[in-house]
Amino acid sequence: MMNEEKNQLQTNATDSQAESTSQQNETTPVTENNDASPEPLASLKSEWKKVDLEPTLTLAQLKELHQQLSQYHDCRVQLCGAKVERIDTAALQLLLAFRNSPYVTVGWIEPSAELCYAAHLLGLSSHLGLPANEPKP
pTM for the model? 0.64
Cα–Cα–Cα angle for 117, 93, 123, rounded to 5 degrees: 40
In the chain, domain spans: 50-128
User: Is the CATH code 3.30.930.10 the one for domain 50-128?
Assistant: no
d(CA 56, CA 62): 10
Q: How far is CA 19 from CA 5, 7, 26, in A?
A: 21, 18, 11
d(CA 112, CA 132): 13
pLDDT band at 20 (very low <50, low <70, confident <90, very high): very low
For residue 108, give the H/E element and its range.
strand 104-109
Q: Is pLDDT of 133 > 90?
A: no
Q: What are the pLDDT digits (tens) for 48-93?
A: 999 999 999 999 999 999 999 999 988 999 999 999 999 999 999 9
